Structure 1
Amino acid sequence: MRAYPVTLVRRFSSLVDLSFDDEASLATLPLDISSVVQRQAILRAGEPSPSMYVILEGWAARYGIRANGSRRITGIMLPGDFCGIHALSGASLDHGIVALTNCKIGKIDWTIIADLAHASPAINRALWRAKLVEESILRTWLLNSDDAFQAVGHLLCELHVRACGVGLMQNRRCYIPLTQQDIADAIGITNVHTNRMLQKLRREGLIEFQRGALFIPDQDALRKACDFTPAYLHPLEAA
Structure 2
Amino acid sequence: MPHHLIRKLEHFTKLSCDDRQVLGAVASKRRTFAEHSDIIEEGNDPSHVNLILEGWACRYKQLDDGRRQIISFFVPGDLCDTHIYILREMDHSIAALTPVKVAEISRASLDRLMDEHSRVTKALWWDSLVGVAIQREWTVNLGQRTAIERLGHLFCELFLRLRGVGLTEGDSCALPLTQMELADALGLSNVHINRTLQELRRAGLIVLKGGCLTIPDLAALQKASLFNPNYLHLDREGRNLDANEPASD
TM range (shorter): over 0.9
- Secondary structure in structure 1 of the residue aligned to 2:11: helix
Residue 109 of structure 2 is matched in structure 1 by 112
Whether the 8 Å CA contact 2:13–2:237 is kept in 1: the answer is no
- Inter-partner Cα distance in structure 2 for 1:25 and 1:143: 37
Range with bigger deviation, 38-47 or 91-100: 91-100
Structure 2 distance, partners of 1:26, 1:224, is 38
Alignment correspondent of 2:169: 170
Instruction: Please give the residue correspondences for 1:38-187 in structure 2 after superposition, counting only pairs within 5 Å.
Output: 38-145=35-142, 146=144, 147-187=146-186
Identity %: 39
Alignment deviations for residues 126-177 of structure 1 (CA, whole Å, 9 cap, x no partner) = 2222221111111101112231110000001111111112222125311111
For 1:29, the equivalent position in structure 2 comes to 26
TM-score by length of 1: 0.92
Taking the aligned partners of 1:42 and 1:143, their CA distance within structure 2 comes to 28
Decide whether the 8 Å contact of 1:33 with 1:104 is kept in 2: yes
Residue 24 of structure 1 and its aligned partner are, at CA, apart by 2.2
1:200-239: CA deviations, max 9, x gaps?
A: 0011111111122111111111100001111111114278
Letter in 2 for 1:229: N
Corresponding position of 2:211: 212
Farther off after superposition, 123-132 or 80-89 = 80-89
User: Contact 1:49–1:84 (CA<8 Å) still a contact in 2?
Assistant: no
Task: Decide whether the 8 Å contact of 2:171 with 2:216 is kept in 1.
Answer: no
What letter matches 1:28 in structure 2? A
Which one is further off, 11-20 or 220-229?
11-20
Structure 1 contact 5–28 (Cα < 8 Å) conserved:
no
- Count of aligned positions: 236
For the residue of structure 2 that corresponds to 1:92, the secondary structure is coil
Output the CA distance in 1 between the equivalents of 2:29 and 2:93: 20
Partners of 1:172 and 1:148 in 2: how far apart? 23
Residue type of the partner of 1:14?
H
User: Structure 2-normalised TM-score?
Assistant: 0.89
Q: Is the 8 A contact 1:74 1:186 kept in 2?
A: yes
Aligned to 2:200: 201
Contact 1:206 1:217 in 2 (8 A): yes
Q: Residue 76 of structure 1: SS of its match in structure 2?
A: strand
Q: 3-state SS of the aligned residue for 1:197?
A: helix
In 1, Cα distance between the equivalents of 2:79 and 2:120? 13
Return the offset for 1:119: 1.1
Quote how far apart the aligned CAs of 1:16 are. Answer: 3.2
- Runs of 4+, deviation exceeding 6 Å: none
SS at match of 1:196: helix
CA contact 1:163–1:174 (8 Å) conserved in 2? yes
Q: Distance in 2 between matches of 1:67 and 1:238?
A: 45
Cα RMSD, aligned residues only: 1.8
Q: Please tell me the residue identity of whatever aligns with 1:135.
A: V
Structure 2 distance, partners of 1:232, 1:192, is 30
- Paired with 2:137 and 2:81, the residues of 1 have a C-alpha distance of 22
| Aligned counterparts of 2:228 and 2:27: Cα–Cα separation in 1 | 37
Tell me, in whole angstroms, the C-alpha distance in 2 between the residues paired with 1:182 and 1:150.
17
Cα distance in structure 1, aligned partners of 2:155 and 2:209: 13
